[in-house]
Structure 1
Amino acid sequence: MRAKANRARKTDARIRELDLRAADVTHGIAAPLAFAHRWAPTKRTGQPRYGASYAASCHNRAALTPGNAHVIKGVLLGFACYAAYACSDAFVKLLEGSLPAYEAVFFGAVLALAALPFLKKSGDRWREVVVSKRPGLWLLRALAGAIGNVSAVMAFTALPMAEAFALIFLLPIFVTILSVIFLKEHVGWRRWSAVIVGFLGVLVVLRPGFRQLGPGHAAAIVCGIAGALSIIALRMAGPHEKRITLYGAGVIGPMIAGAVLMLPAFVWPDAHQWFLLLGYGLLAAAGAVLLMLATQNAPANRIAPTQYSQMLWAIVFGYFLFNDTLDWPMLIGIALILGAGLFTFVREEKKTNWWRRTKVVGGAGSA
C-alpha cells in the first residue's frame, strides 16, 4: 500500500510538472503528448489510463483546493499583461511619427531585452537566446517579428487605436488559412465560416469606396499576417525550443532589422521622445513577464482570450488621449472581427491544442 501511495504521489508530481511546462510562456506550453498519454484509453480496458476515479479526484481537488484561486490570479495577470501591451502601443502612438518607425522598433526591442532575466530558467544558457535547435524556424519568427513590429508602429501612428487593433486581430483568421497551407490541417465549415465573417467585418470597418484608405490600413493587415506566420513557426517548433529562444527570436529580429533600416534617416531622440520610447519598450517587457506569471498560475488556454481586452483599452486610450471617434459601422465591424477571431481561437484550441504546445505567445503589438 505504501509503495502504491508513493507511486501515486510521484504521478501527481509529474503531472503537475508537465502542466506547468504546458503553461510556459511568451504570445508566446509544451506537454501535449504527456496530456494525451495521461488520458489516452488503454488497449486492455478502453478506459483512461489513470481511471475515472483519478479524474474525479482531480476534479474534486480543483474544486476544493486553492487551485481555483491560482486560476483567477492567472487570468487577472493575463488582463494586466495585455493592459501593459496596450499601454506600450499607446506610448508608440504618442510619438506621432516624430521618429522613423524603424528607429522606434529598434529602441523598443533593445528595451524589451529587459524581460530576458525574468524569462530565463536556471538551466538555460544566454547563448540560447540566439542558438536554436531549429534555426530555420527561429529565423522565420525573427523575420515575422521584424515585419510585425514595424507594421504595428506604422499602423498605430496612422490609425485610431481601435481601428488598428481590429485589423491586427485578423491574426487568428490568418492562422487558420496558413495552417491549411503550411501545416496541412483540416479546417471544418465552422472555422471557414468564421474566416468569412472576419473578412466581412474588415469590409465593414474599411468600407472601401466610401472612405479614404491609407498605408496604415495595409500596415495593420500586414502586422496580422506577420503575427500569424510567427504563430505557425511556434506551432512547428512545438516543444523543441526553450522559452528564452522563442522570445529571443521575437526581439532580436526587430532589433537587427530596425538597426539596419534606421541608419539612413536616424534622428537622435529628445528627452520627451526618450520617455515615450522607454514606455514603449519597458511596458512590452513587463507584458512578457506578466504573461509568464499568468501562465504559471492558470492554463494557457484560459489566459489567451484576455488578449481581446486590448480592444477596450484601445477605445479608452483613443477617446481620452487621441480624440478618436468610432461610428456605428466601425463598431459593428470590430465586433464581427473580434467575434470571428475569438471563435476561431476556441475552435483551433479544441481541434489542435496548439496553445498548449507553444511556449511563447505575444500581444498584438509584440508580434
Structure 2
Amino acid sequence: MTPQNQKLGVAIMALTTLVFASQDGFSRHLAGTYNVFLVVMIRYWFFAAFVILLALRRPGEMQRMLRPRYPVLQILRGVLLVLEIDITIQSFVFLGLVDAQAIFISYPLMIAALSVPVLGERFGWRRWAAIGVGFLGVLIILRPGFGVFSPYALMPLAGAFAFAIYGVMTRYVARGDDAAVSFFWTGIAGAVTATLIGIWHWQPMTGSDWIWMTVLSLLGILGHGMMIRAYELAEASSLQPIAYLQLVFSAAVGMIVFGDVLHLNVAVGAALTSGAGLFTIWRARMQMKHG
C-alpha cells in the first residue's frame, strides 16, 4: 500500500463524511414532513438495488453472497441498523442535527467497551479511562438534573448504542464473512425490515419531495461506494479518526440550513467525547504496531 494510496483513501473518506452529513440534512428535512419509517423504507429500496447490482457484476458472486458463514447474525445486523436509523433520524427532528450528532458520536466508545465481553479484546487502564471521559462528555451534553434535560436526548443515545452493537456484530462476522458479504446483507436484510415497518406508514409525496428523496437515496449509495473505495486504498486505522469529521459537517448543516444553535455544554461535551474516541483509536493502533 503506497503513501499516495493512503493519502487518496483519507481524502475520499473525508469527502464521504461530508456526503453522509448532507444525507443527514436531507433525512431531517423529509422526516419533518413525512413519517420516518417511510423515508427509511424508500432509502433502503435504493440501497438494496445497489448491493444487488454490485453482486451481479461478477459471475458466481450472487451465489457467494447468499451463502454467508453467519446467516443469522448477518440478518440481525441488517435489522438492527434499520432500527438505529429510524431512531436517529427521528432524533434529528426533535433535537436538531447539532445536539443529536454530538450525543450519537459516542458510539465508538460503546464499541470499544462492548468489544471486551463480546469479542474478547483486552486493553489497559488508559483506554478505560478514555471511555470514562467520553461518557462524561455525554453527560455534559445531556445535563441531567439541571431542569433542562429532554427525554428526546435519549433517542440518539439509544441510536448510538444500537449502532455500537451493530459495529461489534460486524467485527464478529468478519471472522468468517468478508466485507462484501456483510455489505450485501446489510442492504437486503435492512430493506426487508424497513419495508415490513414502513409499508404501514405510506404517505403520498409531492413531486418535489420525490426529487429530494431520490437525492437522499443516491447520496447514500454514493457515500457507501466512496467508503468502500477508501477502505480499498487505505488502512482502516488511518480512516477511523476521519469519521469524526461527520460531527463537524453535520453541525455545520444544522446551523446553516436549519438554524440549530451550538450551546457551550454541547461543544464541551462533544469535544471530550470525540477526543476520547480518537484516543482509543490511537491506542488500539499503537497496540497493533507493538503486538
Provide TM-score, normalisation by structure 2: 0.90
Are residue 165 (structure 1) and residue 101 (structure 2) matched? Answer: yes
* CA deviation vs aligned residue, 1:249-302 (integer Å, no higher than 9, x gap): 222233222211223332122223212222222111101111122222222221
Q: What is the distance in 2 between the residues matched to 1:253 and 1:348?
A: 31
**2:10 alignment partner AA:** V
Q: What is the distance in 2 between the residues matched to 1:307 and 1:127?
A: 32
Q: Is the 8 A contact 2:137 2:269 kept in 1?
A: yes
Q: Is the 8 A contact 1:194 1:344 kept in 2?
A: yes
Partner of 2:91: 155
Look at both structures and tell me which one has the larger radius of gyration over its CA atoms: 1
The change in CA–CA distance for 1:351 and 1:250 in structure 2 (over 3 A counts) is: farther
CA shift, 1:114, in A, is 4.8
Are residue 80 (structure 1) and residue 15 (structure 2) matched? Answer: yes
Q: Is the 8 A contact 2:237 2:285 kept in 1?
A: yes
* CA deviation vs aligned residue, 1:115-174 (integer Å, no higher than 9, x gap): 434577636522444441211221231122122111221122222212211211111111
CA shift, 1:239, in A, is 4.6
Partner of 1:214: 151
Q: Is the 8 A contact 1:114 1:285 kept in 2?
A: no
Q: What is the distance in 1 between the residues matched to 2:119 and 2:212?
A: 40
The change in CA–CA distance for 1:130 and 1:278 in structure 2 (over 3 A counts) is: farther
- Of 103-112 and 235-244, deviating more is 235-244
Q: What is the distance in 1 between the residues matched to 2:268 and 2:84?
A: 26
The change in CA–CA distance for 1:302 and 1:284 in structure 2 (over 3 A counts) is: same
CA shift, 1:349, in A, is 4.0
Q: Is the 8 A contact 1:143 1:253 kept in 2?
A: yes
Q: What is the distance in 1 between the residues matched to 2:282 and 2:59?
A: 33
SS in 2 for 1:307: helix
Are residue 315 (structure 1) and residue 255 (structure 2) matched? Answer: no
Q: Is the 8 A contact 1:162 1:314 kept in 2?
A: yes
User: Runs of 4 or more off by more than 6 Å in structure 1?
Assistant: none
Q: Is the 8 A contact 2:138 2:273 kept in 1?
A: yes
Q: Is the 8 A contact 1:171 1:228 kept in 2?
A: yes
Partner of 2:229: 293
Q: Is the 8 A contact 2:106 2:134 kept in 1?
A: yes
Are residue 97 (structure 1) and residue 32 (structure 2) matched? Answer: yes
The change in CA–CA distance for 1:91 and 1:127 in structure 2 (over 3 A counts) is: farther
CA shift, 1:96, in A, is 4.1
Q: What is the distance in 1 between the residues matched to 2:57 and 2:246?
A: 29
2:185 maps to which of 249, 254, 263? 249
**2:34 alignment partner AA:** L
Provide TM-score, normalisation by structure 1: 0.72
The change in CA–CA distance for 1:156 and 1:129 in structure 2 (over 3 A counts) is: farther
Task: Map 1:1-367; keep pairs closer than 5 Å.
Answer: 67-116=2-51, 117-118=53-54, 122=58, 125-210=61-146, 211-215=148-152, 217-351=153-287
SS in 1 for 2:25: helix
Q: What is the distance in 2 between the residues matched to 1:275 and 1:352?
A: 46
**2:92 alignment partner AA:** F
Specify every segment of 5 or more residues in structure 2 that has no aligned partner in the other structure, as ranges.
Answer: none
Aligned residues: 287
Q: What is the distance in 2 between the residues matched to 1:229 and 1:158?
A: 24
Q: What is the distance in 2 between the residues matched to 1:185 and 1:120?
A: 36
- Of 198-207 and 119-128, deviating more is 119-128
Q: What is the distance in 2 between the residues matched to 1:167 and 1:252?
A: 28
